[in-house]
Amino acid sequence: MRLSRYFLPTLKETPTEAQIVSHRLMLRAGMIRQHAAGIYNWLPLGTRVLQNIIQVVREEQNAAGAQEIIMPTIQSGDLWKESGRYDDYGPEMLRIKDRHERDMLYGPTHEEVVTDIFRNNIKSYRDLPKNLYQINWKFRDEVRPRFGLMRGREFLMKDAYSFDLDYERSKHAYNQMFVAYLRTFARLGLKAIPMKADSGPIGGDLSHEFIVLADTGESAVFCHKALLEKPAPQNVDYDADLQPIIDDWTSLYAATDDKHDAAMAEKLGGDLVSARGIEVGHIFHFGKKYSDPMKASVIGSDGNPVTVMMGSYGIGVSRLVGAIIEASHDEHGIVWPDSVAPFDVGLINLKSGDAACDTACKQIYDALRVKNRDVLYDDRDDRAGVKFADMDLIGLPWQVIVGPKGVAKGVVELKRRATGAKEEMSFEAAVAKLTVL
């Protein structure tokens, strides 16, 4: 992509409405623009990052055996009257009347809709287990939308729902999601700590939140420092018993401040980390909370109906964009982890219009494209300082800097954004290095 043609409205000034660094950087890097309070437009650069995160989330959900569906964002209020939540949910739910005066709503979550799909289509214990997920927009009319995408009103969520015959099997579905979450957040370059949680208004008896540590997080958290160093599980067989992995992770102390225990703090001493965190995921096992009132049952092996056990599993996909930036930036801008970067490489032409520089850039660009590298080519007729600043701001993992002096010697400069380390090398060596990544 040529930057001269790309829609990338970067800002030099820090927008005053943004209180936290991720929000400021997303606005400055031309990723998003606010439409209304807590509602955002995603511009091309932001859209690419969001798509990359979606892809990682999707791959890990699929690997864990969940199946992707798409449910409507606009739901019928009748289902919520059946589950009993229509009146309970309160003002966070955006309620809409259609032209026939029917109660509709913009879905804040999808337990009712997915339970309705289940009960209308799945009839036998032989069809279990099932785990259905979607990646879709939610609307919650939050009292205080703030911090950009962190607490939006419209936001993108991955929400999965599991259906099983009994507690043991639904616990296995819960464990599958637990492990998938550890893997997902690690692939996104994040350290996410699982924390035992209240199951809140959704109800139930087993729940964990996944918290990314960042100074601007909304919750205070305390945990054993070994949790921060633990690598995510590799080569997982999702059919095997996952309980040992869960026990291994949950045996280490982790708590939010409301549940933090002073005696524990004393016991852990120097091993205790106290920090702030951002909730990026939340998993619940809630048994028959919806399947009971909504009559979601299957015929069991003995011919009698069995009400199914359910769980729901959310990831704040759009919130993750902010969380990743909170966890990975410096004074110059964003530092994208390779897995979510909007482009792999930023190619900077220090003298656009100079025949030798233009030819060298074109050659490098084409060579990288052939190898499927995504390249943003800064071909603008602008000062070097502006190009360096913009490229650092948008945080692509690698920069290839092409200037007249280097080109005369047959070399370019390769810069790693995260460390700032620069190395001079031939065009071919630069291309080779960037294609083996």
Residues that bind ligand ATP (CB under 6 A): 109, 140, 142, 151-152, 155, 157, 200, 279-282, 314, 316, 318-319
Q: How far is CA 223 from the centre of its chain?
A: 22
Q: Both tokens of residue 23?
A: 């929000």
Closest CA to 26 of 433, 235, 328: 328
Q: How far apart are CA 393 and CA 11, in angstroms?
A: 10
- Count helices and strands (H / E) in the chain: 14, 23
Residue 346 contacts which entry, ligand ATP, Mg ion, none (Cβ below 5-8 A, type-dependent):
none
Angle between helices 44-63 and 317-327 (to 10 degrees): 110
Judged by beta carbon, residue 200 or residue 410, the one nearer ligand ATP is: 200
Residue 151 contacts which entry, ligand ATP, Mg ion, none (Cβ below 5-8 A, type-dependent):
ligand ATP
Contacts with Mg ion, residue ranges (CB under 5 A): 282
Residue 9 contacts which entry, Mg ion, ligand ATP, none (Cβ below 5-8 A, type-dependent):
none
Residue 390 contacts which entry, ligand ATP, Mg ion, none (Cβ below 5-8 A, type-dependent):
none
Q: Indicate the DSSP class of residue 86.
A: H
Judged by beta carbon, residue 212 or residue 357, the one nearer Mg ion is: 212
Q: How far apart are CA 195 and CA 255, in angstroms?
A: 6
What's the closest the beta carbon of residue 200 comes to ligand ATP, in angstroms? 6
Q: How far apart are CA 128 and CA 122, in angstroms?
A: 8
Angle between helices 317-327 and 21-28 (to 10 degrees): 100
What's the closest the beta carbon of residue 184 comes to ligand ATP, in angstroms? 12
Judged by beta carbon, residue 283 or residue 361, the one nearer ligand ATP is: 283
Residue 183 contacts which entry, ligand ATP, Mg ion, none (Cβ below 5-8 A, type-dependent):
none
Judged by beta carbon, residue 184 or residue 328, the one nearer Mg ion is: 184
What's the closest the beta carbon of residue 107 comes to ligand ATP, in angstroms? 12
Judged by beta carbon, residue 48 or residue 151, the one nearer ligand ATP is: 151
CB 268 within 8 A of CB 185: no
- CB within 8 Å of 16: residues ≥ 6 apart: none
What's the closest the beta carbon of residue 279 comes to ligand ATP, in angstroms? 5
Residue 285 contacts which entry, Mg ion, ligand ATP, none (Cβ below 5-8 A, type-dependent):
none
